[in-house]
Amino acid sequence: MGSKHKLRWAAEGYKPCQHLLEYRLKHGAESFRVLQKCLRAGGTPGRACIKREEKEVPRCASCGRAHGRLYACLLCATIGCWSPPEAPHARLHAQTAPGHDLAVDVDRAELFCCACSDQVYDPDFDRAVIGAQSAPLLGGTAKSYEKEHPINGKDAADCVKRRRGAEYKPWVPTPGEQLALRQGSTPLKEDESLPSGLRGLNNLGNTCFMNSVLQALLHTPPLRNYFLSDRHNRAICQRRAPHLCLGCDMDTIFSAAFSGERTPYSPAQFLYSWWRHAANLAGYEQQDAHEFFISTVDGIHANSGTTSPRARHSQGGRAGDVDCRCIVHHVFSGLLRSDVTCTVCGFTSTTYDPCVDISLDLEPDIGTEKLFVDPVLNGESGGRSSRAASSAFSASTLLGCLDRFTRPERLGANEKFFCQRCQTRQESIKQMSVRKLPLVLCFHIKRFEHSSTRNTSRKVDRYVQFPFFLDMLPYLSSSIVRSRHGNRLLSVDSEETGLPSMHSPFSSEFELFAVVTHSGKLDSGHYVCFLRLSGRWYKCDDAWVTRVSEDVVRASQGYMLYYVQKTLSYKASDLLPSSTPDILDKNGKHGGYSCVSGLPSMVNGV
């Protein structure tokens, strides 16, 4: 393998398995160029899959299985399944055919080592998949993508250099821009009784779930600054090619909310576009606010066209959506770390998963769960105190839920994982932590329980105390891993792992600015949003907006909690592409240094 490949892998902080090194030494990077012609864009945004006829159904060559994970050998294209678990046919093929260890996931176009039973990463394979995925979106061909993104280059090393900080430079309008602002702007109507942007939303028929989440999004500081600075111009976006774009509909709602009008607004166009985006949720039935939030984030991202190359690979320890450059992932996307430790030899397998929210289980009721006293788990936790255990005899708290989320958990006998050191399935201990914090942290409290055995669903009405100010430092991977290993912890940073540094410049202190609550029963409940604006709390109940006290907010039945970082730093890598470069970048100032339109001061409006 050439020195350039080693340099690129070192820059991306990844150590490939021995089977991948042997494959590259024998076949080189040219095989991945050929593979790109066998890939096509998948049905899911951001994914690719192996080309096949419309009615063709891939099947395992050994058992004929057509469902589950199927892998195609990288050398002979033989398809094998990953079942039964004790002797998967894809692995049997690799064992019987020397050198045929690497395969490609048929539906996801992900590189997999059958000998290691794990996904592997190769920068040239990564570029081949991105080229196949991006070519139809860019209206070009795979060759044009290769020309703009050569496989042999120093892109990975340069990317590390570009992540360094830069001095924040505010936009100073030129005389011509000041004249354009005066001629093309309408002064907002001042209303001392309510803050700017606070406007009721009409209920269009069981749409309180949508109105409550939209109110939270309208007053999410980074998102608000992005849309109000015209970073997504719906007129220019639709002028290029009329298409479904939730970003354009969101821009319309922002314009209406901050127009100065106080009469309730009807987001009918957004509802219709969302129905088209999420056809399975269309209709006038009551929907889940959390599902709506996830679907809306996905819809805005799907039409942003700003996904970075690394964002297409979230498996095998990659950063995933945490590196996507679209506005919703820039604001909400964080990274979770999962450590699974073998109880026999102590080997730890670490994976990273991107997330736009953190779903938390409620603490158990009094007497339903014994205290956390397992000696092995206590040893793993390094003596870290668990507020979840102590609070089992008091009211449930958000901090207790976070302790429960990040505490070590012994996996059952039916959940044994394959230990690479023992080379067999062993009992293990799993522990979650937060690897990278987002600008805006969204917590989802799991209040709805579904039993597949009894085929029943119910809502948990247990009260949860939540703080107005939250420090996430105890739940970061750096803190948890340090408490587990003590002085034995080695330094791990972004240049070694290819992931955001544990010592992130972003603050771990957050401030609550929105609470989405649910009252009533599972099938006949009602959603309401509480907002903190200019130091005061307001209740948004569909079209009705009223001022309330902090006690009312604290007593509410929180379902989704939105926290924003108290201190936001400026980085050159935070620059987002504008949907209107011909307007914002006209003089090379606003578009060049606008970090989400003023990140350092965005918290002032909370």
Mapping DSSP to helix (H, G, I), strand (E, B) and coil, where does residue 376 land?
helix
Catalytic residue among 17, 38, 149, 526: 526
Bridge partners of 519, per DSSP, are: 526
- Which tokens sit at 288? 């889940």
Looking at this protein, which amino acid is placed at residue 556? S
Which among 247, 244, 242, 225 is positioned nearest to 300, based on CA atoms?
247
Q: Tokens 């290819």 label which residue?
A: 498
Catalytic residue among 81, 113, 116, 208: 208
Mapping DSSP to helix (H, G, I), strand (E, B) and coil, where does residue 601 land?
helix
Residue 489 gets which letter from DSSP? P
Q: Is the dihedral of CA 209, 212, 214, 216 positive or negative?
A: negative
- Which tokens sit at 522? 């599972």
| Rounded Cα distance, 530 and 556, in Å | 9
Residue 526 is a catalytic residue:
yes
Q: E strands along 107-218, which residues?
A: 111-113, 118-119
| Rounded Cα distance, 354 and 118, in Å | 18
| Rounded Cα distance, 139 and 570, in Å | 34
Cβ(290)–Cβ(281) under 8 Å? no
| Rounded Cα distance, 301 and 499, in Å | 21
Biggest alpha carbon–alpha carbon distance for the chain: 77
CB neighbours of residue 489 within 10 Å: 12
| Rounded Cα distance, 444 and 404, in Å | 14
Element (H, E) at 433: strand 428-436
| Rounded Cα distance, 203 and 146, in Å | 50
**For residue 84, cis peptide bond before it (omega within 30 degrees of 0):** yes
Residue 60 is a catalytic residue:
no
| Rounded Cα distance, 233 and 268, in Å | 20
Which among 130, 125, 126 is positioned nearest to 140, based on CA atoms?
130
Looking at this protein, which amino acid is placed at residue 128? A
Catalytic residues: 208, 526
